[in-house]
Structure formats: structure tokens, C-alpha cells
Structure 1
């Protein structure tokens, strides 16, 4: 979750329809994937990592976001959650990029950098906003660079 939205939604984030439905979709997409360690890139509040720590066997999460003022540690249901401005390497078996790539000018290079920071067997779950025709003032507020199409996303592979 973008830290800009925390200022607006406050403590009601977990009740907002968008984040509830996105967390439900994330859980469904993961299916039988049972991560033990999560790397949440562009994590903001850590909403999605916290959701997985509370609702799965995952035992730790590394939330990385350049917007953090300082590195810090916390717990979610007695599981460690680490908030870091950057990270060099982590043995995560799941990487989350939830609404992150649309903020990055060179999204392909950015993704490659994180592929290099985790083991080769690590799974990635990526979500991005779609359809340029849906571009709105909310995209501008969140400082998005683009929206995606399936064709454009596949072409960057």
C-alpha cells in the first residue's frame, strides 16, 4: 500500500474494499504456494505481508520501500516483519510487487535487480494497474508512470 494512501485511510486500511479484494485475489493466486519468507518490494505499510503472515505458514517478511524514514522491526502474529529502505540479498521464497512497477521509470531493470537478490527458485507475484483508458487523477496523485496491458507486460519478459 502506498504510504500516501495511509494518510487518507488511516487505520481503516484493512477494511477498504480495494485492499480486501486485492488480498483475497493474492491468496487465491498463490494457491498451493506456501512461502516461509516473503520479500515485499515497495511494501509501503506492509499490508500484504501482514496479511500473509496472519493467514499463512509464512514466518517472516522483509518489507522494502525507499519511502521509509528508518529501518525498523515489528511483529505480526508473533512473526518477524522487517522494514528496510533497501536490501542486498534475502533468502525469500516469495517476492511481492503489489502495485510497484508502474512507479518505476525503468521497470524492467528494477525487476531484474530484485531477481538477482533472491534464490533462483523464488516465486514472484506482481500486480499492476491496467488499461491506459482508465488513467485518472488517482494515477497522477500516486505518481504512476504508466498502466499496463497483458501484451506490454509480456513484451518486457
Structure 2
């Protein structure tokens, strides 16, 4: 993610429905984990998701490959460091929880990056991963954002298990809005802004909140989430 895109995300993420709902997903997963511990947000950009960890009592740090992102995160009061996801500047087995949200699709060698996520987890530790799903949704926007792939359930599971982790849960997100996203991706210009009309933003937020209550997580959406753990020794 380049500097301009990072700055754009920081500018809109507090209000934009997509970023708000993603933070709600993180919060729900954290509540399932129980007692807070040490956490690392890998590919943290400006640290919006790291703040969720901190708000829930976790001792959290942010890692990003962009010096501009690290600086933005630090300006927001987050303990942030520059680091390559394939060579994390973190000790082995030192973290109870690791996040890598919308990161792996940017990395040509995603197997090495997944291995690093596993390495820094303590035995029994949990990782939360999200990636864009379904090659049918590939568009010029993926190219603009520096994506090198989109994932299926099988390819994401294979990646996680190949890193020595065990998948606890894998689910789709943005299932209800997938037809709209697919239609728009193949018609909108790549540079179209995501700063939405407030009424549209509220409507999309309402749809995403409705999805929480429906049994649709096994149906293809726009994003895949996976929660996995490092087996005990």
C-alpha cells in the first residue's frame, strides 16, 4: 500500500462502513479470546485496527512495510515499527494474538509471510487473517491496490495449514453486498473515491450489520476471514 493510499485510508476509516464493520469483527473475535495478552498487528497501515486491540486491553504493537504508515501510526499514539512481513522484526513465540488483515494478497511470497505469522505466535496463540476472495471479482482496482491474487477457501486453508497452523474457523464476509460489489468493480473507474454520501454509507452499514444475524457465512462474499492457532508443543 503506497503513501497516498495509506493517507486515504486514515482519512476515511473512522466513518466508512467497511472499516467500521471490520473493526466490529475484530472486537467480536477478541471477546472470544478472553484475557488480553501480547498482540501484533502486521500490515497495520495507519494503525486503525491496532487501536481496537489497545481498546480491549491488549499490549499491542503495529508493524508495516511503509515508513509513512509507521509514522502515521506513531502520530496516533501507537507503538509502531517498520518491518517486512516476510522477515518480521519480532521474537519467535512471543505473541498471544497476531492479526494480518488484507495483507497477504499484496505479498508475492505469501507462504513465507504466513510462516512468519506462525513463527511469532506462542504455542496455543491465535491468528486472525482476512483476504479478498474470489478471482471472479478481480478488477482494475486490485491492480491499483497492488494485489497479486485473490483467494478461495481452499487456497487460504492450504496457505494457513502449510505454515503449521490449524484453522479454527473460516467464513465469508460481505455476502449480501457481493452482487453490488461485483457489478461496480467492473464498471467503476479505479480511481473512484470511497468517501461516500452519508446516506449511502449509512445504508451499507445497515446491510453489513444485518448480515451478522443471517446464516450466510458459508456463501461466497467479497472477503474471507480465518481464525487459526499454533498447536501446543
**TMscore range, shorter length:** 0.7 to 0.9
Counting matched residue pairs gives 152
Equivalents in 2 of 1:110, 1:139: separation in Å?
20
Please give the root-mean-square deviation of Cα atoms over the aligned residues, in Å: 2.6
Q: Relative to 1, partners in 2 of residues 1:114 and 1:9: Cα closer, same or farther, differing over 3 Å?
A: closer
Shift of 1:44: 0.7
Equivalents in 2 of 1:37, 1:68: separation in Å?
23
Q: Relative to 1, partners in 2 of residues 1:10 and 1:125: Cα closer, same or farther, differing over 3 Å?
A: closer
Structure 1 unpaired stretches of 5+: none
Work out whether residues 70 and 80 of structure 2, in 8 Å CA contact, stay in contact via their aligned partners in 1: yes
Equivalents in 2 of 1:135, 1:62: separation in Å?
32
Work out whether residues 70 and 84 of structure 1, in 8 Å CA contact, stay in contact via their aligned partners in 2: no
Describe the SS at the equivalent of 2:26. helix
Instruction: Tell me which residue corresponds to 2:15.
Output: 15
Give TM-score, length-normalised by structure 1.
Answer: 0.82
Instruction: Tell me which residue corresponds to 1:45.
Output: 46
Shift of 1:114: 2.7
Shift of 1:9: 4.5
Equivalents in 2 of 1:145, 1:133: separation in Å?
14
Give TM-score, length-normalised by structure 2.
Answer: 0.58
Q: Relative to 1, partners in 2 of residues 1:94 and 1:37: Cα closer, same or farther, differing over 3 Å?
A: same
Larger Rg: 2
Equivalents in 1 of 2:7, 2:124: separation in Å?
36
Describe the SS at the equivalent of 2:32. coil
Equivalents in 2 of 1:28, 1:71: separation in Å?
26
Q: Relative to 1, partners in 2 of residues 1:104 and 1:50: Cα closer, same or farther, differing over 3 Å?
A: same
Shift of 1:137: 2.1
Equivalents in 2 of 1:29, 1:142: separation in Å?
27
Describe the SS at the equivalent of 1:119. strand
Q: Does 1:95 align with 2:98?
A: yes
Work out whether residues 64 and 70 of structure 2, in 8 Å CA contact, stay in contact via their aligned partners in 1: no
Equivalents in 1 of 2:22, 2:122: separation in Å?
26
Work out whether residues 102 and 146 of structure 1, in 8 Å CA contact, stay in contact via their aligned partners in 2: yes
Structure 2 unpaired stretches of 5+: 84-88, 162-233
Q: Does 1:82 align with 2:79?
A: yes
